[in-house]
Amino acid sequence: MSIAPGTAVEALDTPVLLVDGDALARNIARIKDLARHAGIAYRPHAKTHKSPLIAAMQIDAGAVGICCAKLAEAEVMAAAGIDDILITTEVVGAAKIARLMAACRLARIRVVVDDEKNISELAEAARAAGIRLDVLVDVDVGMARTGVATAADAARLANIIARAQSLRFNGLQGYHGGLQMMAAVDERADQVGLAMDRLEAAAELVRSERLEIETLTGGGTGTSVVDLAAGRLNELQPGSYVFMDASYSAIEWRDGAPPPFENALTLMATVVSRPAPEIATVDIGYKAASMDSGPIRPIDLPGAAFTFMGDEHGRLTFENRLCPLAVGDKVHFIPSHCDTTINLYDRYVVTSAGTVTAIWDIAARGMVQ
């Protein structure tokens, strides 16, 4: 179904994923100002938006490049002309490494490693492809998800990379996803301090072995307020700032205030049933909004709470009052988690002041390999 620019948002069919293009532009400008003021480079994580078009907007605004979580995302970005990409998760196995070599013909792509055999395979493939691949050592800074566990392991792998003629040692990555959503900024800052101590210990050992660390990367939207002030990383990886969501909007940025980014991403639903006086059923369920971070948040519906009711339905319950909605009414929500909600849709409907301005493909949706 094609949608013409100029269409009123309320006339759109639902469920639909909406982007406020003006709020998006302000978020993109705001991170630029914050990073410039701090004198720290930033490389937005494209795993959030999955759109080469938004990636290009971020780079135009001053980002040094983008991050991708998966090789398949990087392939989409590189094919669309994004030319500086860091893949922030390990690229493992012969099939993926062969694809990586092909993608490296289109863009400068850096990878992270935490395993010696993986380094050997990358080195051999890069040698055969006649390229020199930039490699960072991924350091576990407390999450026990990926990354080497000790500074000694980091230094050992850095040396192996540095000795491989087809590889170039580029630096260290230390990312802790578990800290991003800590509500209180003081507690978050304490924990980020501990994580950065671990990264710094690895960095010091690497430097003591006369290897240069060009890039020290990590951080996310939630920790960026701390990372920008601390200056311990020289490249940040914020992703969600571009859209925000109900989870990130609920954390403290500074002095009790929320983050300085706007909710640019919303869902519009239709009331499809009114099964009881205090209840409206809408056409958003698990297939139209992710629930890994809890319920979506109704906009401009005081007293209404959302509950998922299966794959296709959600329930709005109005506390202590009758539901004011009728079958056919449109309602708006803020997703609880932007990345995974976006992963359910093939396109953004971009709006300005309640009118459609553009349709953007979510070109890297579902690119999990």
Binding residues for a second copy, rule: CB under 8 A, are: 1, 11, 13-16, 47, 69-70, 89-90, 92-93, 95-96, 99, 114-115, 117-118, 138, 140, 143-147, 149, 177, 270-276, 279, 281, 283, 286-288, 290-292, 308-313, 315, 327-328, 337, 339-340, 343-346, 366, 368-369
Checking phi first, is residue 62 left (phi over 0); if not, alpha (psi -120 to 50) or beta? left
d(CA 254, CA 342): 28
Task: Between 260 and 295, name the residue whose CB sits nearer to a second copy.
Answer: 295
Residue 62 Cβ vs a second copy, minimum distance, rounded to whole Å: 26
The number of CA neighbours under 13 Å toward the Cβ of 124 is 10
CA angle 127, 204, 34 (to 5 degrees): 90
H helices present in the chain, as ranges: 21-38, 52-60, 71-79, 94-103, 116-129, 151-163, 185-208, 224-230, 246-249, 338-342
Measured from the CB atom, the residue of 99 and 132 that comes closer to a second copy is 99
Taking the complex as a whole, the smallest distance from the CB of residue 89 to a second copy amounts, in Å, to 6
User: For residues 86 and 271, which CB has a smaller minimum distance to a second copy in the complex?
Assistant: 271
- Among 241, 121, 156, 143, which Cα is nearest to 192's? 143
Shortest distance, CB of residue 45 to a second copy, whole angstroms? 10
Question: Which CB, 273 or 355, lies closer to a second copy?
Answer: 273
- In whole angstroms, how close is the CB of 199 to a second copy at the nearest point? 15
Please report the DSSP string for 299-323 in residue order.
Answer: SS-TTEEEEE-SSS-EEEEETTS--
Q: How far is the CB of 22 from a second copy (least distance, A)?
A: 25
- Measured distance CA(163)–CA(181) in Å, rounded: 39
Q: Output 159 or 317, the one with its CB closest to a second copy.
A: 317
